[in-house]
Structure 1
């Protein structure tokens, strides 16, 4: 049975909380944890903004997402172990925690009251697809930026299909890379 959108959103919230706890405890590579946090928060926010927020006229949530994005960028730029890193981590954790609490106490109950179970499952499917699309795009960008782990032609073709790039089936690997870069800029 397909998960409804509320279940998926709350599952993402719990995963984000786990990542913050792991970062606070000092367990694991802080850069890897921040990268995972960045990917999940970004993909989750974009999926909410595209799938959920238009249904609920959630302008305040958009503002909170922008704030989190700025704080997340500060955390990514900071050196783990430094005071800037600790400060950015603390501010982001408080901001995201507030957003999650607000969303789970106000927005999601409103969505549950105003949407049928079938619509919630349909929204869940759309939310999951949108979030996965963002996660794949973020992974591709990270690979491209690092210069390592180049995508295969098949992976590039799949991303070109998702981006609805015309003529992709006749493109070489290099042409697919260029077309995807243009589509993302």
Structure 2
């Protein structure tokens, strides 16, 4: 099994990204039916269907014990992480990690270093935080295009109202989409103008 520290490194300057720091999501563990006291299982991280890291997990009462080998040093690390629950509105309960550093209730822990912790304690940023306003608008517009059943890419034009969608819903989504496209195109124009100015100098 690939040890901790065998995954990808941060992909840009500044804060490392959450996606590069082996996110351990208790919601996924719960959905797989693994969160049972006394259970032991392996958890792996894949990139392009290839394992890049993995840990062993033991489920105790109101906690998990994470065991992994640091690839850089060969050291075997064992970390106990507390878990907690909260009631759901429609019955049942939702499971959470308790961050080992700040004790805050979180659904996902990350391991940018030797130990797992929440995003804030790990000093991690989201990939979208490196995007400009135009990039973020384009990303949001593409999400709306997917919901509308349109081809991805803001330059591909609209595809009309999806069958079965209420007219008011369609008009609202299209209006939001068009506004985001204008923001993105304005940003593209600004960047092209700046580039043109540089080329003229």
- TM-score by structure 2 length? 0.24
Structure with greater helix percent: 1
- TM-score by structure 1 length? 0.26
Instruction: Work out which of the two has the higher radius of gyration on C-alpha atoms and give 1 or 2.
Output: 2
**1 or 2 for the larger relative contact order (CA 8 Å, sep ≥6)?**
1
